[in-house]
């Protein structure tokens, strides 16, 4: 299926690895020009080089910046999709907040989580959607988490901040932007095989003294699909949500979790 977005420009945040990189790869494979943002320059440069090789017909640019800071966002937005153009697609993503006990979190921890997982996506959306609406096409996909539907107690910072974003998106997606070709959706990962998941499992292994593969196996068995998702699968869903075919999907929370969420709705 031709997704109909060849030649568009996408800003993909948190894109040197994992789910963000999966989204950037899938979009570039559809002929979308992509600007990748991540903090670490080495992994970012490697991702940009690999993507240029894989998708020679598109422009691939990297911005080494912390997207959760005003300076980082300014640097990313300054690229503005290249001369004479602007971003048609925004994929919001950044690292998730650390786990812990809510009794230990003070205002600073909450502000950090809100900045990263709620206010940064809102700031970027604010900067880009009116231009998208003027041009009659726009796609915003926020990478959130399955924890928005089924919260995990030790991830209270994530549950809270991402639910705030989810409530905001539910409203803005149904605003007059919807009549101007701009869709806003959230894509909710369950367990995907990325660095983040591996680090979490290594942490559990060192805490419990169990073998990391045994921990991974036990986790896979809790998922009806009996496996972790891949960044490529995640990217393909993101690219579809950004396609011309998904113009009637807005304000939705699309869960990709191999059936892990047990509810009917
Ligand atoms: N993987 C899963 O199973 C899973 C499940 C539920 C939710 N999630 C959520 O999905 C998101 C992506 O997860 P992932 O598994 O793809 O993580 P990952 O493999 O650790 O990749 C995260 C990417 O984001 C970049 N990044 C992190 N913080 C950033 C910042 N402040 N500014 C710019 N770039 C930043 C990282 O590069 P730098 O570190 O160099 O900046 C890296 O490229 C996270 O919010 C995570 O909590 C993941």
Average pLDDT over residues 254-261: 98
Q: Is the pLDDT of residue 83 over 80?
A: no
Q: What is the pTM of this model?
A: 0.97
- Cα 98 to middle of ligand 1, angstroms: 12
Ligand 1 site, residue 18, Cβ cutoff 6 A: yes
Contacts of 174 (CB under 8 A, 6+ apart): 250, 251
Residue with tokens 């948190």, as numbered in its chain: 14
Q: Is the pLDDT of residue 173 over 50?
A: yes
- Which residue spans within the chain are E strands per DSSP? 9-13, 33-38, 60-64, 89-92, 138-143, 182-189, 253-256
pLDDT confidence of residue 84:
47
pLDDT confidence of residue 89:
97
Q: Which residues pair with 35 in a beta bridge?
A: 11, 61
Residue nearest to atom 41 of ligand 1 (CA): 39
User: pLDDT digit string (tens) for 176-234?
Assistant: 999 999 999 999 999 999 999 999 899 888 889 999 999 999 999 999 999 999 999 99
Ligand 1 site, residue 68, Cβ cutoff 6 A: yes
- Cα 96 to middle of ligand 1, angstroms: 6
Ligand 1 site, residue 39, Cβ cutoff 6 A: yes
Ligand 1 site, residue 192, Cβ cutoff 6 A: yes
């Amino acid at each position: 299926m031709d997704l109909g977005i060849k030649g568009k420009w996408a800003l993909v945040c948190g894109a040197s690895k994992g789910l963000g990189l999966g989204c950037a790869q899938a979009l570039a494979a559809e002929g979308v020009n992509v600007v990748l943002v991540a903090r670490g320059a080495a992994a970012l440069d490697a991702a940009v080089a690999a993507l240029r090789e894989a998708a020679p017909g598109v422009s691939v640019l990297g911005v080494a910046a912390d997207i959760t800071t005003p300076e980082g966002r300014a640097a990313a937005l300054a690229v503005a999709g290249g001369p004479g153009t602007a971003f048609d697609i925004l994929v919001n993503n950044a690292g998730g907040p650390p786990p812990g006990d809510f009794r230990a979190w003070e205002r600073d921890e909450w502000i950090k989580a809100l900045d990263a997982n709620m206010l940064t996506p809102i700031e970027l959306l604010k900067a880009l959607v009116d231009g998208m609406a003027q041009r009659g096409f726009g796609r915003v996909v926020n990478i959130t988490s399955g924890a928005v539907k089924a919260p995990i107690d030790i991830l209270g910072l994530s549950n809270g901040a991402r639910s705030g974003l989810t409530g905001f998106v539910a409203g803005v997606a149904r605003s007059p932007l919807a009549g101007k070709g701009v869709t806003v959706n959230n894509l909710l990962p369950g367990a995907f095989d990325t660095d983040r998941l591996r680090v979490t499992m290594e942490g559990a292994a060192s805490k419990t003294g169990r073998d990391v593969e045994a921990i991974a196996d036990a986790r896979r068995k809790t998922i009806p699909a009996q496996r972790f998702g891949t960044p490529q699968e995640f990217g393909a869903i993101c690219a579809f949500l950004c396609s011309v075919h998904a113009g009637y999907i807005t304000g939705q929370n699309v869960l990709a979790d191999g059936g892990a969420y047990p509810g009917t709705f």
